[in-house]
Amino acid sequence: MKMLNKIFILSVGLLSMASCKKYLAVNSTPNNPTVVPPSVLLPTTTIAIAFANQNDLNRASSALIQHIAGVANQTAAYDVYNLAGAFDNQWNGELYDGAIVNCRQLIAQDSATSPAYSGIAKLELAYAFSLCSDIWGDVPYSQAGFGTKFLTPRFDKQQDIYQGNAALGITSIFDLVNSGLADLAKPSALKPGKDDLVYGGNLANWTKMGNTLLLKLAIQLTNINPALATSTINAVITGNNYINANNLDFAVPFGASVGNQNPLYTFNYLNRPGDQMLSQRLLNLMISLNDTVRLGQVFSKPTGTFVAFDNGSTSSAPAQATRSQYAGAYLIGTTGSAPARLLTNFQSQFILAEAALLLGTPGSANTYYQAGITAAMQEVGMSAGQITAYFTANPTIVNLTGTTAQMEQQIITQKYIAWIGNGVEAFDDYRRTGYPALALVNNPAGDDPSVIPTRLPYTNLETAANPNCPNPRPKTDVKLWWAK
């Protein structure tokens, strides 16, 4: 939490400086700067979006899509769909008063002279807004992150966030990404170096990140706007400049010191080690796919076998020392320094497989599908021999067969497995496709116990402070605009 506190403090400072800038200009001094250098701002935006993805939003979504089972405290509540009253810190500190306001500041101060920084900021801003909208639906977007200019920002409709609305002055999130990509190609007075925590100032890799973000945004629209999805994906394929190797992943590093570690490690091994563990349902799925070698790369086996728990069960949980919990270099590392993987090679491959299957975009769906499985297995540390052995022993699993719906289910199921540790992405795919087929938990509660939630509820603080926040809030069984 030290890292998050630093981000929040800097965000508040920026808002204060923005409102007082005209007064400070009267008596300026180099010891009291009114503009935070981009090299200071950029790490805060990058860390903020990674922290938001890996922290409480991840715990809730990972329980809802049954990667993990909640055993105690908040995660146990999320497990049975009790979601109201949570996520104020995520909405405010991590996203709107963290990543979003600082990205806006980078864009405002650097787009004219140092577009390398504003380009990266636009890509990160688009990622942050996609995280918000894909979790909550209609959210502040076009008026968000501008400090005191909009004290109670409008909630833009999700369809306007994705598609734009000229009448309301809303630029689409696709255009935001494309604007960022255009900035990266311009001459820039200042360019990032070590302050770029992911790519070390390699703008070519940021371009690949931006194009992969376009793929992620486009595939969300397969149900609702297949024409936009198809044209966007076709353009990315034609450009052939997206994340297509594991070493190009948009993976945000964390540190080994206390306060700077990956939230997955901090929560599961330092702060709340008894709150969550491997879901019995995920274990059953992996056994059915003969895929327990891979599962062993991301969950521990203290007793030599997997020890899981059924979602929503009121039975006594296994002794903590025996439980299977997040583990391995891929998810947590030995000291908590594993990176947060936000956009990945396996993700690109599975998106292109699904697009080829459903939208008729170029390429072989089966070839992309197998590339996705391979990349995901490599990512968690499986050896080439283990991967080859799996493909040889399981031809019906690693080859697409059956109806279009059955092949789509295969693709999304493999993507769901690959996203262990990033429940937000798996939650998006589940709500968009209905795959994998998940049964209700035991003892469901929440807004509607008969339905796995399709959104998170708006936070109490935002509902109280912003008159534009829908009130009463949509229940968690109200589907998002793009959901199936």
Whichever domain contains 416, its CATH number is 1.25.40.390
**Closest alpha carbon to 416 in 293, 295, 329, 273:** 295
pLDDT tens digits along 130-173: 999 999 999 999 999 998 999 999 999 999 999 999 999 999 99
Average pLDDT of the chain is: 93
How far does CA 134 lie from the centroid of its chain?
9
Bond into 472 cis (ω within 30):
yes
The rounded Cα 329 to chain-centroid distance in angstroms is: 19
Residue 287 lies in a domain: no
Q: Using 50, 70 and 90 to split pLDDT, how confident is the model at 35?
A: confident
The model's pTM is: 0.93
Residue at 236 is within a domain: yes
Length of the chain in terms of residues written: 484
Q: What is the rounded distance in angstroms from the CA atom of residue 439 to the CA atom of residue 323?
A: 23
List the domain range (segments joined by +) for residue 87. 2-21+34-257+339-465
Q: List pLDDT tens digits, range 320-330.
A: 999 999 999 99
Instruction: Evaluate if residue 10 carries a pLDDT over 50.
Output: no
Q: Is the pLDDT of residue 15 over 80?
A: no
Classify residue 88: in a domain, yes or no.
Answer: yes
Task: Say whether pLDDT at 32 is over 80.
Answer: no
> Is 232 in contact with 217 (CB distance < 8 Å)?
yes
pLDDT digits (tens, 9 = 90+) for 234-291: 999 999 999 999 999 999 999 999 989 999 999 999 999 999 999 999 999 999 999 9
Other beta carbons less than 10 A from residue 305's beta carbon? 10
Q: Give the other-Cβ count within 10 Å of 363's Cβ.
A: 14
DSSP 335-400: TS-PPEEEE-HHHHHHHHHHHHHHH--SS-HHHHHHHHHHHHHHHTT--HHHHHHHHHH-HHHHS-
Q: What percent of the chain has pLDDT over 70?
A: 93
Residue whose structure tokens are 């101060």? 109
Q: Would residue 297 count as lying in a domain?
A: no
How far apart, in whole angstroms, are the C-alpha atoms of residue 358 and residue 356? 6
319 in any annotated domain: no
Return the structure tokens found at 420: 């262990």
Residue 474 falls inside a structural domain: no
| Distance between CA atoms of residues 320 and 372, nearest Å | 34
Question: What's the pLDDT tens digit per position in 186-222?
Answer: 999 999 999 999 999 999 999 999 999 999 999 999 9
Per-residue pLDDT, 104: 98
User: pLDDT band at 34, cuts 50/70/90?
Assistant: low
The answer to the question of residue 483 being in a domain is no
Q: Give strand pairing partners of 70.
A: 276
| Helix H or strand E encompassing 276 | strand 276-278
Given a cut of 50, is residue 29 above it in pLDDT?
A: no
Q: What is the pLDDT of residues 384-424, one digit of tens each?
A: 999 999 999 999 999 999 999 999 999 999 999 999 999 99
Domain count, the chain: 1
**Inside any domain, residue 476:** no
What's residue 33's pLDDT? 53
